[in-house]
Structure 1
Amino acid sequence: MAITAAMVKELRERTGVGMMECKTALVEANGDIEAAIEAMRKSGQARAAKKSGRIAAEGVVVIQITADQKHGVLVEINCETDFVGKDAGFVAFAEAVAVTALATPVTDVEALTNQPLVTDASLTVSAAREALIAKIGENIQVRRLLRFESTSGALHSYRHGVRIGVVVDMVGGDAALGRDIAMHVAASNPLCLSAEQVPAATLEKEKEIFRAQALESGKPPEIVEKMIDGRIRKYLEEVTLLGQPFVKDPEQSVEKLLKHAGAQVLAFARVEVGEGIEKKTENFAEEVMAQVRAS
């Protein structure tokens, strides 16, 4: 029986297992999805499938950069609890995934999960993930892959603990400056590099907020416009890397620091574990009371 993309997609959605593993299971089951699921359960993939729906908002960010500082990757690997995020096996898996990402030309998570691990070619990233789930008992996900290539500068990085990772593409300066700029990005979380890069919609939204605030003052329209201009300038300083006060020396801006060092930041990226994931909040006291009332 011919295995279609729709069949593979359905099996993946129902199990949470990688695309290649789903296709293999369907081929072996002659296209019978239920039989494929049963086979996955017997082989141990079921445990991974069962846990795939759990919220995984903890974990680590791993950065790998080539020796010539021209190529790099930043990978986010998620798990359910902070405890597992510190587990040696989980950390080793995350490091292996990042090494694999750097060694291959893949640009997205789906393609990365189908790659053989550089540290163990007998396993794909997806298969290693499922084996780790079976061992640890938590949902584990390869969530994000960012790839970097510096054509005229050099890549620098900084990792704050294991939860925040930053990569900076910079021309000029030295390794110490590159790390300082990456550290600043980690601490101050700028929206973008310069005022020119602030999205027009974002800027317009801020202007409307400032205008409403200024009008409440009862000042004449020309004064209101000056107040808005002043607040926009301050806003741009706060949200852009070049405009922000340097975290290690607030007396000077990042732009002035770079200019003094004869350096220029071309781009940067900052990733924090779990950002954008809606975490489940639990009230322990309410949970205990519910159990008491039920007993």
Structure 2
Amino acid sequence: MAESWLKEQAQAQGWAKATRLEGRPTKQGLVAVAVDSAGRHGSMVEVNCETDFVARNKSFQAMVEGVAAACLKYIEGAPTSTISPFTKMHLDADQLKQLPSVGGSTLADEVALTINNIGENVVLRRAVGLKTKASESDGLFLTGYVHPTPSQTNSPVAIPLLGRYGSLVMLKGGADRQKEEIFGKQLCQHIVGMNPLKIGSEEDKPAKDPDDEKVLILQEYLLDPSTTVGPLLTSNSVSILDFVRYECGEETLQDTENIVAEAVN
């Protein structure tokens, strides 16, 4: 009874503090990636705070991992696409707030508790989820990466990673899954480092300056600049179906649209 009362008090204090701090700039934070052990479901989230000091706080980091785990659970239960071999879902701040946390409350409640503990504004910014169909015979699998990479983690999901940059990639492989997963993680690392804008196709023309190349298959490979990504996909019997890259605090299309709307009004 006493423990329940204390939790209710902390929750109320958290909401009160969250209301007072709402609107304060949140330019720091973390990106988290979570992928299940079978590589069939994955999520990536961005949660912002005010200072880098809080981004290194264990309580804040645990909350961000919880957000990634909640998103992973949500995408696992989401309807599977009937027209595509995989399902992709984007979640904005309002949608994230309503998701149930691993502990049974909402993510909005978890954020309020964290704000009460750390004394800074915290914002659930965005998330993306990817899932394959139930069959494993299709060769599809997910992998993820963050930078800088964590030294260790105790999270229950297969790839609970926290950093300032993250990538989540949907791949299709052949028979050698172990080799393909290693290459997949290297592709994730490349995407974080080289920031491609699209996968590309044979019709795409290379940029005049390789340093300006934004088509993934035409980019010089991060780990071996003597070759490009396209031939490596072929030699590893892997095709990339989709990818998402996050950079903590980066300006998004939604941010630009909001700025334009404010200027008009």
Normalised TM-score (structure 2)? 0.71
Match of 2:101 in 1: 117
Compared with structure 1, are the counterparts of its residues 141 and 242 closer, same or farther at alpha carbon in structure 2 (3 Å cutoff)?
A: same
Cα deviation code 1:132-188 (max 9, x no counterpart): 112211110110110112344111111112100101111116111000100000111
Q: Which has the larger radius of gyration?
A: 1
Flag the 1:258–1:52 CA change in 2: closer, same or farther, 3 A.
same
Shift of the 188–132 alpha-carbon distance from structure 1 to 2, 3 Å rule, reads: same
Q: Is 1:45 the equivalent of 2:45?
A: no
The counterpart of 2:224, out of the listed 249, 256, 268, is 249
Counterpart CA distance in 1 for 2:144 and 2:16 is 38
After TM superposition, the score normalised by the length of structure 1 is 0.64
Output the amino acid matched with 2:182. A
May I ask how many residue pairs the two structures share in their alignment?
A: 205
Determine the C-alpha separation between the residues in 2 that align with 1:129 and 1:197.
Answer: 46
The answer to whether structure 1 residue 84 and structure 2 residue 54 are counterparts is: yes
Pick closer, same or farther for the CA change 1:234–1:42 going to 2, 3 Å.
Answer: closer
Residue 185 of structure 1 is aligned with which of 191, 196, 204? 191
- Contact 2:199 2:215 (C-alpha < 8 Å) held by counterparts: yes
Task: Give the root-mean-square deviation of aligned CA atoms.
Answer: 2.6
1:131 and 2:113 aligned: yes
Choose from 22, 36, 42 the match for 1:72: 42
The answer to whether the aligner puts 1:163 opposite 2:164 as a matched pair is: yes
Residues in 2 aligned to 1:138 and 1:196: alpha-carbon distance in whole angstroms: 49
Deviations 1:181-220 (A, max 9, x none): 000001111111115798xxxxxxxxxxxxxxxxxxxxxx
Contact preservation (8 Å) 2:168, 2:188? yes
2-structure distance, mates of 1:188, 1:234: 14
Quick one: distance in 2 between partners of 1:196 and 1:251?
20
State whether structure 2 residue 180 is matched by structure 1 residue 174. yes
- SS of 1:68's equivalent? coil
CA distance in 1, matches of 2:168, 2:25: 27
The structure-2 alpha-carbon separation of the partners of 1:234 and 1:195, relative to structure 1 and needing over 3 Å to count, comes to: farther
Partner of 1:194: 200
| 1:52-67 paired onto structure 2 within 5 Å | 52-67=22-37
Q: In structure 2, how many angstroms separate the alpha carbons of the residues matched to 1:197 and 1:76?
A: 34
* Identity over aligned pairs, percent: 30
> Mind listing any 5+ residue stretches in structure 1 that lack a counterpart?
1-40, 199-228, 279-295
Q: Is the 8 A contact 1:78 1:141 kept in 2?
A: yes
Q: CA deviation at 1:232?
A: 4.8
Counterpart in 1 of 2:126?
Answer: 144
* Distance (whole Å) between structure 2 residues aligned to residue 233 and residue 259 of structure 1: 24
By relative contact order (CA 8 Å, sep 6+), the higher-ranking structure is: 2
1: distance between equivalents of 2:17 and 2:41? Answer: 36
Divergent runs of 4+, >6 A: none
Could you say if the C-alpha distance between residues 265 and 137 of structure 1 is closer, same or farther in structure 2, counting changes exceeding 3 Å? same
- Name the amino acid aligned to 1:160: H
Q: Deviations over 1:66-118 (max 9, x none)?
A: 22211111010100100000100000000011111111247524233123311
Aligned partner of 2:233 in structure 1 is 258
